[in-house]
Amino acid sequence: MRIALAQVDPILGDVSANIEKAAEAVREAKSLGSDLVVFPELSLTGYSLGQVSDEVSLDINNDERIKELLAEAGDTSLLLCFHEDDGGVRTYNSAAYFEDGHLLHLHRKLYLPTYGHFEERKHFAPGQRMRAFTTKHGRMAALICNDAWQPTLGFLAVQDSARVLLVPTNSADSRFPGDMDTTEYWHDITSFYGRMYECYVVFVNRVGTEGDLAFWGNSHVADPMGNLMAEAPLYKETLITADLDLGSVLQRRRRVPLLREARLGLLSREMNRLSDEGGDL
């Protein structure tokens, strides 16, 4: 399958303009023969929602602008990322996978950072499920940004038979100089997941600025041996493609069976013990 990584610069709070930007990316991706287009975290709304006075959350199933975007996509699948209105009292930081114009899977971000300049827990409720899902191209899972900094989620996804991890992200320049280089950290994470979880890892980061946040882009794909196979530039809107051979994931897992002996029963018992002893629920 050919996957397109849409490294875009969303306009904070301007949903209609961001949907049109997505449509332009879809048209370009289709011209390149792409089967799937993946967009960055919150790319339909922007990230710094505390700076937005208007309501920008979306009912993804009933928004006419989304329906028009899906019609534009046709049989090209999309992973769209947005501030979700669930119709109740909660909203979520969500990623929706559409196939042939229909919603196939919805992932709600599970780990919401609220420290330093991050304030996601003020605006979103955390999701409650980690599931892989079957597409016409193969089995996949989504991890939104900080989700991927929790290695247990990647482990759960591949144990649920995911062969591709889709990682839409809003990663800005590091606010911890001397402690971490976020660009380097992300390359370490995606390479580790590719190698240890024997899967493709599709990391799609945004670019542009919001206030004092500068998003660096550098979207990329790691293969099932952890090698970088496609990479976008820093700080520049662009769309790149990569060809994924999902059959190679199974071959890799057969040759080097790192995932086969997971001993899920053992892990379940020990996790329950730690939870009973006062672990965070």
Summarised one tens digit per residue, pLDDT across range 53-68 is: 888 999 999 999 999 9
Q: Are 28 and 76 in contact (CB under 8 A)?
A: no
**The tokens of 157 are what?**
């996804």
Name the domain count of the chain: 1
Tens-place pLDDT, residues 263-275: 999 999 999 999 9
Sheet holding 164-169, edge to edge: 133-134, 139-142, 164-169, 200-205, 220-222, 228-231
Phi and psi at residue 39, in whole multiples of 5°?
-110, 160
In a domain, 120, yes or no: yes
Domain assignment present for residue 94? The answer is: yes
Of 127-141, 178-192, 203-217, 220-234, the one with minimum mean pLDDT is 178-192
**Domain boundaries, position 183:** 2-276
Indicate whether 207 belongs to any domain.
Answer: yes
Q: Looking at the domain assignment, is residue 167 inside a domain?
A: yes
**CATH at residue 130:** 3.60.110.10
Could you give the CA distance from residue 174 to residue 73 in angstroms, rounded to a whole number?
35
Question: What distance in Å separates the CA atoms of residue 176 and residue 11, rounded to the nearest whole number?
Answer: 26
Query: Can you give the length of the chain in residues?
Result: 281
In a domain, 172, yes or no: yes
Residue 95 has pLDDT above 70, yes or no: yes
Is residue 195 in some structural domain? yes
Of 224, 221, 263, the residue nearest 242 (C-alpha): 221
pTM: 0.97
Give percent of the chain above pLDDT 70.
98
The pLDDT of residue 117 is 78
pLDDT tens-digit map of 20-79: 999 999 999 999 999 999 999 999 999 999 899 888 999 999 999 999 999 999 999 999
Q: Does residue 281 form part of some domain?
A: no
* Mean pLDDT, residues 197-222 taken together: 96
Is residue 228 assigned to a domain? yes
pLDDT at 177 > cutoff 70: no
